[in-house]
Structure 1
Amino acid sequence: MKYQKRKEAIVLLADGTTFFGKSIGIEGSSFGEICFNTGMTGYQEIFTDPSYYGQLMVAANAHIGNYGTTPIDNQSETIKISGLICKNFSFQHTRPIGTQDLLEYFKSQNVVAISDVDTRALVSYIRDNGAMNAVVTTEIDRLEELKSQLADQPSMVGLELASKVSTKEPYYYGNPDAKYKVAAVDLGVKKSILDNLALQDVYVKVFPYDAKFEELEAWNPNGYFLSNGPGDPEPLKEAQELAKEIIKRDLPLFGICLGHQVIAIANGVSTFKMFNGHRGINHPVLNIETGKGEITSQNHGFAVNKEEAENHPDIEISHVHLNDKTVAGLKMNNKKCFSVQYHPEASPGPNDSKYLFSNFVNNF
């Protein structure tokens, strides 16, 4: 493949800026909000993370595909990014447990990917100009038509995407004979989060994004969990009402990422679209209670309003992002409810924050 003449491809941003590259061999066009991830490893976990649904991923790491793919790294059943933009794409892999090269993996799901893009320049441009919609395409003879389609793409603000990735029917995960039971709401849950719950001797029943409290309560769980996921938390009215009911009854509740934002909104604290989100595996967070720093895995484009959280009588900010001082964690006073903006199960990433799963079980 690498010795064949490769077709030209481009990344066209909503403001008209164009970056040039080469097709890896999958023809077509794909739209989404462009974003970048700074992680040096874990690309398969990133591509299959449901939180990335509807986004074009720029890989800040210069080499993608060098260790192939393997089913154990999947965070969901399919690739969730809309398309991939990278610098150097490896058409062969050398990882002993790799079962498929990345090209065949993308081909099997018909996901557009392009390489040979100046990703340093592209990431720098996004950092300076903010997240925006874009199209990645090998159909450079259709540019005027693609520009028109790009202009019609919806903004991520107000966009409800959890329903696109959530399970349609409840399912179970873990050991049926486990000591505890947790009712989890799937807003776009990663498999590694369910794995970490199971490691706490928890049997999980996973419910759709719009499940009612009565459905979860009927399973008689020890605790409740709101997962990560894509899109704006504001339209998720069912999940917000669910969180309000759980909090009102003072039942154990843990939220991650989108679930964290839903818990904030349920308490009357608003969220906002960030100029650029946090996406990587080396984000520094301060645990205010312990005074210790944590290196965290993050993937989000919305954040909780810090001033409103600070002024809320029933809420404390438990964690703060050290780069920009945004809210990275919340806990409720006199309630068994807490949440974090990052991914404590860290797939990929460090293990600094796995204690949060133990803290959740200790509330049972």
Structure 2
Amino acid sequence: MQKRQLVLEDGTRFLGTGFGSDREISGEVVFNTGMTGYQEILSDPSYCGQIVTMTYPLIGNYGINRDDFETITPSIHGLIVKEVCDLPSNYRSEETLDRFLKANDIPGLAGIDTRKLTRLIRNHGTMKGLFTSADCSVERAMQLLHQEIGITNHVERVSTVKPYVVPGRGRRIVLVDFGMKHGILRELTKRNCHITVVPHHYSAEKIRRLKPEGVMLSNGPGDPKYVPDAVRMIEEIIPDIPVFGICLGHQLIALACGADTEKLRFGHRGANHPVKDLTTGKTVMTSQNHGYTVTKESLAGTELELTQLALNDGTVEGLAHKRYPAFSVQYHPESSPGPEDTYQLFDRFLANIITHQSEEKREEVSCRSVQI
């Protein structure tokens, strides 16, 4: 392994040992507080364009297996760890973390003070950083960073190109892919749903032609305001079709209903984030990965009801529409990795579909009675 460095946009330099791919790459440097789940983190499309720092000191100790992927092609830009394990020990392990990163052309950096880097991000917010060789000067690295043009099409890079079907005999669900984790598919197929996955730019008209009983809006990377087509689509379908939004999907529902979003200082990334349900008074532990949030003050004057709050910082974690069968959560009820406290939200989504269909039938019967 050769020496490699991380240079941040403020000029801070971290010198360590490289593993994985040796390519030079830049990205937004963030941190994740999970003790496990690095395979799911590496394969989560929501990390597109980011270099992830793991705060847990030893990563790679249970290797890489065939079951825990959240997408086929990882889009994370880089991984930073305190110590990388070269000899994993787990009955499911099929290859080392280093070998996996090499195969997917993802660079890694080990042996740096990850606590110092995490404190830096917490104090100053997320920053752009560059993975480069140890002999590259800080001045040259800073020039390369400043030459980088901000990429805004993260969703386009991770969304499916064309629709496809995951067949089932249950409810017909259209899943809009903004950077979907396979965990969402797993929970819907577990409930025998017939799922049609569509690209991020699919129009409301095209979605209606698929005759869905419900529409799910997936997680995804980046700023929700860079996906204006999706906001317009949601505005059109939300009065007619039950909708459930997760993470980026949650933020897009808020924008479609007149609320606003803003960038967090350093985001929420990790497992075991406590969230309070304001309707039940109960607290659940959640898995989270987002750098943007719905602005709480912007909900005033909209038809959205605040249903859940993050106990760590009071940010918006759940919304429900006051008139239409639409709701959303900022966290990941499909977990992967993380706690399984909120799987029942998928059941709530299907229950909303049944209730909506019953109401439509009553209205249809009422209209016929008036005509007679």
TM bracket, shorter-chain basis: over 0.9
Q: Name the CA distance, whole Å, in 1 between partners of 2:39 and 2:217.
A: 23
1:36 to 31, 40, 46: 31
Letter in 2 for 1:170: P
Root mean square deviation of aligned Cα: 1.3
Displacement of 1:139: 4.9
What amino acid is the match of 1:85?
I
1:234 alignment partner, SS class:
helix
Which of 320, 323, 326 is matched with 1:334 structurally?
Answer: 323
**What is the CA-CA distance between 1:146 and the residue it aligns to?**
2.7
Match among 170, 173, 197 for residue 182 of structure 1: 173
What is aligned with 1:226? 217
CA shift, 1:263, in A, is: 0.5
Give the match for residue 157 of structure 2.
Answer: 164
For 2:194 and 2:140, locate their aligned partners in 1 and report how far apart those are by CA, in whole Å: 50
AA paired with 2:34?
G
Q: State the distance in 2 between where 1:312 and 1:355 align.
A: 30
Q: In 2, are the aligned partners of 1:112 and 1:137 still within 8 Å (CA)?
A: no
Distance 2:134 2:25 in 1: 10
The letter of the residue matching 2:314 is: K
Once the two structures are overlaid, the 10-residue window that deviates more, 259-268 or 215-224, is: 215-224
Q: Among 117, 121, 127, which residue is 2:112 paired with?
A: 117
In the alignment, the residues of structure 1 paired with residue 200 and residue 290 of structure 2 have an alpha-carbon distance, to the nearest angstrom, of: 18
Q: Is the 8 A contact 2:11 2:138 kept in 1?
A: no
Q: 1:304 aligns with which of 272, 294, 306?
A: 294
1-side partners of 2:282 and 2:130: how far apart? 41
Question: Distance between the aligned counterparts of 2:109 and 2:325, measured in 1?
Answer: 46
Letter in 2 for 1:68: G
Paired position in structure 2 for 1:256: 246
Measured in 2, the distance between the counterparts of 1:25 and 1:361 equals 42
Q: Structure 2: how far apart are the matches of 1:177 and 1:31?
A: 41
- TM-score, structure 1 length as denominator? 0.94
Counterparts of residues 192-271 of structure 1 (less than 5 Å): 192-249=183-240, 251-271=241-261
Structure 2 CA distance, aligned partners of 1:350 and 1:154? 37
On the 8 A contact 1:193/1:345 being kept in 2, the answer is yes
Structure 2 residue aligned with 1:3: none
- How does the TM-score come out when normalised to structure 2? 0.92
Q: 1 CA distance for matches of 2:251 and 2:302?
A: 18
C-alpha separation between the residues in 2 aligned to 1:86 and 1:177? 41
Residue matched to 1:55: 50
Q: Which moves more between the two structures, 136-145 or 342-351?
A: 136-145
Asked whether the equivalents of residues 258 and 302 of structure 2 are also in contact (C-alpha less than 8 Å), the reply is no
1:144, distance to aligned residue in structure 2 (A): 3.8
What's the counterpart of residue 348 of structure 1? 337
State the secondary structure of the residue aligned to 2:238: helix
Q: 1:280 aligns with which of 252, 255, 270?
A: 270
Distance 2:190 2:61 in 1: 31
Structure number with the higher helix fraction is 2
Identical positions, percent: 40
Check the 8 A contact 2:168/2:195 in 1, yes or no.
Answer: no
Aligned-pair distance for 1:80?
1.9
Q: Indicate conservation of the 8 Å contact 1:27/1:139, yes or no.
A: no
Deviation (angstroms), 1:23:
1.3
Using the alignment, how far apart are the partners of 2:171 and 2:22 within structure 1? 48
Question: Structure 1: any 5+ residue segments left out of the alignment?
Answer: 1-5
For the residue of structure 1 that corresponds to 2:136, the secondary structure is helix
Q: Deviations over 1:281-332 (max 9, x none)?
A: 01110011111001000000000010111x1341100110001100001000
- Cα 1:25/1:336, change in 2 over 3 Å: closer
Q: Are the counterparts in 2 of residues 93 and 101 from structure 1 also a CA contact under 8 Å? A: yes
Q: Check 1:203–1:144 CA distance in 2 against 1; reply closer, same or farther (3 A cut).
A: same
Corresponding position of 1:325: 314
In structure 1, C-alpha distance between the alignment counterparts of 2:75 and 2:20, rounded to whole Å: 19
Amino acid at match of 1:272: E
**Secondary structure of 1:259's match?**
helix
* Unaligned ranges ≥5, structure 2: 354-372
Q: Matched residues in 2 for 1:341 and 1:205: separation? A: 23
